[in-house]
Amino acid sequence: MRTLFVAMGLLAATALSAAAAEPAKMVETKMGKVWATEKGMTLYTFDKDAKDKSNCDKDCLKKWPAFHAAEKAKAEGEWSLVKAADGKEMWAYEGKPLYTFAEDKKAGDMKGDGVGGVWHMAK
């Protein structure tokens, strides 16, 4: 009986970890598949960032808000957490910190792609 409970517990734990939601979703656009927030706002990467390090300072974050993580978020798989210039944790995908663009006003907007030659939609 004890073995049965242990097995059921392991099965439940495995199912819960497999069901853990990614912090963003992949959406189909006219430019192909890109990462977006749960509200459908396009996510971007910054060429001047280093792997697992944001180089977007506080002024930069006004135009390119960090894709902040929930308070108790945990990194998993390709998703990691890095510090934003505002001191809060932000999401990174495959080591690339992720941002939204202040000029994107509605889900599906992609106005930030190519800005300054250093901002790109996250794919």
Residues 66 and 86 sit within 8 Å (Cβ to Cβ):
yes
Give the pLDDT mean for 28-48. Answer: 96
pTM for the full predicted model: 0.83
Residue 115 above 70 pLDDT?
A: yes
Residue 11 above 90 pLDDT?
A: no
Give the pLDDT mean for 42-62. Answer: 98
Domain extents in the chain: 22-121
pLDDT band at 20 (very low <50, low <70, confident <90, very high): low
